[in-house]
């Protein structure tokens, strides 16, 4: 009986005849074949696949879940859905295979398992595609690695330079904050090193291996701030990315989110941020479901949040939620004993970044720098030092190197010297004015004037003599 007669008399006969031959042929050309039962447990594996996995005895695999030996296998999906996966790419060690997966059914059509075929060497025309796929995988892995490095903290507690009592107290509090997985609020003037300390706390915490994501609330337009925080669902609005966009909370999942200049955050976003902190879940723009997140918040501000709360510019409930553990960073003028160490550290960083010769700071230069008020704190100090390095050819920076960079230092001191009187002179001037006013009010009568001043008549005469007011 030929195939035409067989197919005419029994259409199903062709299928029964071809199936064993097809499976045998696939087994011959495949790099590996494996079958699982309805619970995705391995029930059969050929010798080539067994060798690829590094085994010689199939009994070591039979009865085990497929994922124990092939973590990226999709045979369980095929069993659960009953849908074949005819063409797929699967990475296996350093190689990539073309994989086909088919469901297995009994005569009643019930899913009883699945079989997978690994095709590679026999499909030469797919090698260029596989090579391109492997290259893209390598590029993706490298991009992820670099992105991960960018999201790792660059600073530790050792980066917070200084051994003054104020600096040591900040470090002590930071170590305490690192041990406690709670919200931290960093307070201090601009340039005092709040982000550095936030990174140091993260680097010393149990979340150090996870991402550190920083957001400056003052640098992002209000219309974009919500999307920046919570992300955007695919096609949420006209012009939105069809793939969607992950927000900073999602990127920081498992790690730390640093909210810089949180005091400048709009009230509308403050309300949504409060909900995230309370519920630990976010809802991307345009989405209809919430996403659970595990994020540790470190917030920072250079403004007085309590005053903002009193003026209605900052939510009181959010303030109390953020102010669980607060650390106040001292301004540079309150830690002048750290000035030399800060200069040495900054000059070393300038040398490493620019490649210019290493400079030293002299005592005369330190005295000149110490006379300045430093409204920009450590950030301004580094900027001033870099300017001095760029304008000087000497290996040692002296006071004159800062003459044009900090001309206001002398001007400020001179202005203060003219505006502020010595204490003894200020007291004498105040007494003079009070006595003159009392004598005028009493019509020149000294006894009445003494009563108005609350002093004795003898004391008044003594003051008149000291202040030369007898006439």
Give pLDDT, residue 111: 92
Domain with residue 458: its CATH number is 1.10.10
By CB atoms closer than 10 A (0-12, 13-18, 19+), residue 464 is: middle
**Domain count for the chain:** 4
For residue 64, give the DSSP letter.
S
Domain boundary among 330, 359, 394: 330
- Could you list the residue range(s) of the whole structural domain that residue 226 is in? 157-235+244-330
Per-residue tokens: 114: 């699945």
Give pLDDT, residue 427: 72
By CB atoms closer than 10 A (0-12, 13-18, 19+), residue 291 is: middle
The helix (H) or strand (E) run that includes residue 237 is none
**Same domain? 460 vs 395:** no
Alpha helices in 88-186 (DSSP H): 127-150, 165-179
Name the nearest CA neighbour of 406 among 420, 392, 387: 387
Pairing of strands 281-282, 291-292: antiparallel
Domain boundary among 288, 303, 330: 330
**Same domain? 314 vs 338:** no
Adjacent-strand bridge partners of 98: 89, 119
**Same domain? 408 vs 428:** no
**Same domain? 124 vs 197:** no
Give pLDDT, residue 23: 64
Name the nearest CA neighbour of 251 among 287, 284, 211: 211
Distance CA 333, CA 326 (A): 21
List the beta strands (DSSP E) in 50-168. 85-92, 95-105, 111-119
CA-based max dimension of the chain: 148
Distance CA 116, CA 45 (A): 10
**Same domain? 269 vs 376:** no
Domain with residue 214: its CATH number is 3.40.50.300
Helix and strand tally (H, E) in the chain? 19, 14
Domain with residue 346: its CATH number is 1.10.8.60
Q: How much is the pTM?
A: 0.58
Give pLDDT, residue 133: 64
Taking the chain (471 residues) in runs of 10, the rounded mean pLDDT of each run is 54 57 66 89 88 86 90 89 85 74 88 85 56 69 58 80 92 94 93 94 92 89 86 69 79 93 90 90 84 94 90 92 94 92 92 87 91 92 92 89 74 52 71 86 85 83 74 56
**Same domain? 107 vs 217:** no
Q: Is 149 inside a domain boundary? A: no
């Amino acid at each position: 009986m030929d195939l035409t007669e067989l197919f005419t008399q029994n259409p199903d006969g062709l299928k029964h005849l071809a199936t064993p031959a097809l499976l045998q042929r696939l087994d011959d050309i495949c790099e590996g074949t494996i079958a699982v039962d309805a619970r995705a447990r391995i029930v059969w594996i050929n010798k080539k696949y067994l060798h690829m996995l590094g085994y010689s005895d199939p009994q070591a695999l039979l009865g085990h879940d497929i994922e124990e030996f092939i973590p990226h296998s999709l045979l369980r999906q095929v069993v659960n859905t009953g849908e074949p996966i005819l063409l797929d790419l699967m990475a296996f060690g350093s190689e990539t295979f073309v994989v086909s997966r088919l469901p297995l059914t009994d005569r009643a059509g019930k899913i009883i398992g699945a079989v997978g075929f690994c095709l590679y060497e026999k499909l030469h025309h797919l090698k260029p595609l596989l090579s391109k796929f492997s290259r893209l995988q390598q590029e993706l892995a490298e991009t992820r690695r670099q992105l991960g490095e960018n999201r790792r903290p660059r600073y530790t507690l050792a980066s917070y330079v200084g051994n003054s009592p104020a600096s040591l107290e900040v470090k002590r509090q930071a170590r305490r904050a690192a041990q406690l997985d709670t919200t931290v609020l960093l307070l201090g003037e601009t340039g005092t090193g709040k982000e550095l300390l936030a990174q140091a706390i993260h680097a010393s915490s149990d979340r150090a291996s996870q991402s550190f994501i920083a957001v400056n609330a003052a640098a992002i337009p209000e219309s974009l701030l919500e999307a920046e925080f919570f992300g955007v669902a695919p096609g949420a609005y006209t012009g939105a990315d069809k793939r969607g966009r992950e927000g900073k909370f999602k990127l920081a999942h498992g790690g730390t989110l640093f909210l810089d200049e949180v005091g400048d955050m709009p009230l509308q976003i403050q309300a949504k941020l409060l909900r995230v902190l309370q519920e630990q879940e976010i809802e991307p723009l345009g989405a209809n479901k919430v996403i659970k997140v595990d994020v540790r918040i470190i917030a920072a501000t250079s403004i007085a949040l309590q005053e903002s709360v009193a003026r209605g510019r900052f939510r009181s409930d959010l303030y109390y939620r953020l102010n669980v553990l607060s650390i106040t960073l001292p301004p540079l003028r309150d830690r002048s004993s750290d000035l030399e160490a800060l200069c040495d550290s900054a000059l070393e960083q300038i040398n490493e970044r620019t490649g210019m010769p290493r400079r030293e700071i002299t005592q005369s230069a330190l005295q000149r720098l110490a006379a300045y008020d430093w409204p920009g704190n450590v950030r301004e100090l580094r900027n001033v030092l870099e300017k001095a390095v760029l304008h000087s050819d000497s290996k040692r920076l002296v006071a004159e190197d800062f003459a044009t960079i900090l001309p206001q230092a002398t001007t400020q001191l001179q202005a203060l010297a003219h505006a502020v009187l010595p204490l003894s002179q200020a007291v004498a001037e105040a007494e003079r004015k009070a006595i003159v006013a009392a004598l005028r009010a009493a019509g020149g009568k000294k006894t009445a004037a003494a009563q108005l001043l609350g002093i004795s008549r003898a004391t008044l005469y003594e003051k008149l003599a000291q202040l030369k007011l007898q006439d």
